[in-house]
């Protein structure tokens, strides 16, 4: 069974919510990415999203754009990232999702990229700029490789289109709780419970909510309304702060554990 599907099934039977963490791959380098992944697994992270560095990350705010830049500067390419996933797999079975722009997949060739990702130990892809309406071949290849194709739903998505998206997705639905790009926010969206309920009316897939969650209190509040919460920019910000420190893994790991603990009490 796919690790993402298995993890959500385990959490559901235990009556727990999922905690998903996003980091930019190769920030500050791929060895740090490997070490952080292992630390996050121990800290209680359920699913790890690795952002594949791209020169034009349109969906991302400044924190994650800078992480992508640092990843490119450290020489992180899709093949080198997959080598890092192989290294993580030697010590951990944490479910891994690649957060990626389609151009990077297209450059390698869709069939080869998906095959290589599955072989390395990736569990799912979240392709930011590939609409479901244009995904027939992609979905078929992903399914045959045993990978989850994860789709985004936004607050501005009309209900008719939301229904189409969630019926085509697999693994989980990623609900973007705010309009605009990624980034930390001071508060959680007030209409979150009603939006999650609207999505739930159309799918049995778990719903994880992200974009803007920056502290344990917000993480707990979001997890209480959804099946899980995703924290990205707040963790990436910590990596930016401690990137050159020998305490990078310990400091970021402790921050992530505080978020994981909050989610698990939701």
Distance CA 72, CA 26 (A): 8
Cβ count near 266 (within 10 Å) = 17
Catalytic residue among 27, 49, 123, 225: 49
| Catalytic annotation present for 60 | yes
Residue in this structure with the two tokens 């479910």, named with its chain if needed:
95
Catalytic residue among 27, 46, 60, 225: 60
Q: Can you give the three-state secondary structure of 88-127, one letter per residue?
A: HHCCCCCCEEEEECHHHHHHHCHHHHHHHHHHHCCCEEEE
Distance CA 235, CA 243 (A): 12
The DSSP secondary structure of 16-40, one letter per residue, reads --EEEEEEETTSS-HHHHHHHHHHH
The answer to whether 144 touches 119, Cβ cutoff 8 Å, is no
**Residues with Cβ within 8 Å of residue 166, at least 6 apart in sequence:** 151, 153, 173, 199, 202, 203, 205
Give the burial string for 236-254 (b: 16+ CB within 10 Å, else e). Answer: bbbbbebeeeeebbeebbe
Where are the alpha helices (H) located in the chain, listed in sequence order? Answer: 3-14, 30-43, 62-73, 78-89, 102-108, 110-120, 136-145, 159-168, 192-200, 216-225, 233-242, 248-264
The answer to whether 20 touches 228, Cβ cutoff 8 Å, is yes
Give the residue numbers annotated as catalytic, written as ranges. Answer: 49, 60
């Amino acid at each position: 069974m796919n690790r993402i599907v298995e993890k959500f099934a385990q959490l559901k039977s235990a009556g727990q919510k999922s905690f998903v963490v996003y980091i930019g791959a190769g920030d500050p380098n791929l060895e740090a990415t490997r070490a952080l992944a292992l630390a996050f697994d121990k800290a209680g992270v359920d699913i790890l999203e690795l952002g594949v560095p791209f020169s034009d990350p349109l969906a991302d705010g400044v924190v994650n754009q800078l992480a992508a830049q640092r990843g490119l500067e450290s020489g992180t390419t899709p093949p080198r990232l997959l080598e890092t996933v192989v290294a993580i797999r030697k010590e951990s079975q944490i479910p891994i999702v690649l957060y990626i722009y389609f151009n990077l997949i297209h450059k390698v060739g869709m069939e080869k990229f998906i095959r290589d990702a599955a072989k390395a130990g990736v569990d799912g892809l979240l392709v930011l700029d590939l609409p479901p309406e244009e995904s027939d071949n992609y979905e078929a290849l992903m399914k045959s490789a045993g990978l989850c194709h994860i789709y985004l739903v936004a607050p501005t998505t009309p209900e008719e289109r939301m229904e189409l998206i969630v019926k085509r997705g697999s693994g989980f639905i990623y609900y973007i709780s705010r309009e605009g790009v990624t980034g930390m926010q001071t508060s959680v969206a007030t209409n979150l419970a009603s939006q999650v309920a609207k999505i739930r009316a159309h799918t049995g897939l778990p719903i994880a909510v992200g974009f803007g969650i920056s502290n344990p209190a917000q993480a707990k509040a979001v997890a209480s309304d959804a099946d899980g919460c995703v924290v990205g920019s707040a963790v990436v910000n910590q990596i930016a702060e401690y990137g050159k420190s020998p305490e990078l893994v310990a400091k970021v790991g402790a921050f992530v554990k505080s978020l994981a603990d909050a989610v698990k009490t939701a």
